Amino acid sequence: MRSVRQECANRLLIHGRGHAEKLLREYARHFNEHRPHQGRGQLAPLDDPNVIPLPTPRIQRKQTVGGLINEYRQAG
């Protein structure tokens, strides 16, 4: 709850229940699939710890959660 409140809810004006649910779903996806966690060696909870990522020459940025969070991926 603390992470979602600090990183998302405290920074946005939420317009109703539907908007709040959409933001929380998107934040939960970001938290579990992309956000690094210090206790997991900077891996996200759904990352496979046995996979060693290769360096990427080009990075693509995607803004999410209403532009509050940036996600980065290898440019294709």
Quick: pLDDT tens for 17-49: 998 898 888 888 877 776 666 656 666 777 776
Question: Is the predicted pLDDT of residue 65 greater than 80, yes or no?
Answer: yes
How much is the average pLDDT of 38-61?
A: 70
**The pair of three-digit structure tokens given for residue 12, joined into one six-digit string:** 């946005």
75 Cβ neighbours under 8 A, 6+ residues apart: 56, 58, 59, 60
